[in-house]
Amino acid sequence: MIEFDGAEVALEPDRTGDEPVRILHPLDLVLAERRIAVIGPNGSGKSTLARLINGLVLPTAGAVRVRDAAGSPLDTIDDGAKVRRRVGFVFTQPAAQLVMPTVLEDVALSLRREHRRRAERDAAALAALERFGLAALADRSVHTLSGGQQQLLAIASVLAAGPGILVADEPTTLLDLRNARRIGELLLGLDQQLVVATHDLELAAQCDRALLVEGGRVVADGGPADVIAHYRATV
């Protein structure tokens, strides 16, 4: 479960006396559904909302908390390291998080805390690759993969560490239709709670709840069909 308690993000003005620029206005939300879509136009604040969940962005006022496996609240400011272990994050650009030379090494990097020995770590990484149909690419350079393969690898690397929540920030935006649907189906089928910021309204429609963000505010919240209809009516 994810809780926003008066959480906002504001930038200090360049000139003395100006009002702070609010990227995200104070937000009170409890996100308990398994699959939640965050939709809205570019620059609306949806990516900021998503990044608040695992502490990539910290609230300038209020708080954001996630529940650990035992149900205890973890604050993104006070418990940052624990929050990041609890909440995995997938970026729009998979290259932003693929940092090791080969496919196997990249997944193994995310397992260094759980498996201290190299052989155990590599075995666990290979098992994660098999789950996503990437085992045959284990020794390939990450830079030779297609866009869809890179996004699959990024997701595999994040999920290998066993987060309870996955946040994905526009994970299908740069993919062709076939790969976008493949990634979407994968995300929707996960056991983890999923929060996905997306322009893909087909993907959003398959979630359990949707939030529409405009101008740094949540302007619609509820069933995806109703929220998407509200969004279409305003563009």
Q: Is the pTM of this model over 0.85?
A: yes
Whether 12 shows a pLDDT value over 80: the answer reads no
For the chain, domain boundaries: 2-234
Token pair listed for 81: 């390291």
- ∠ CA 48-33-187 to the nearest 5 degrees? 70
pLDDT for position 10? 93
What is the CATH topology of the domain spanning 2-234?
Rossmann fold (3.40.50)
Q: What is the pLDDT of residues 156-206, one digit of tens each?
A: 999 988 999 999 999 988 888 888 998 999 999 999 999 999 999 999 999
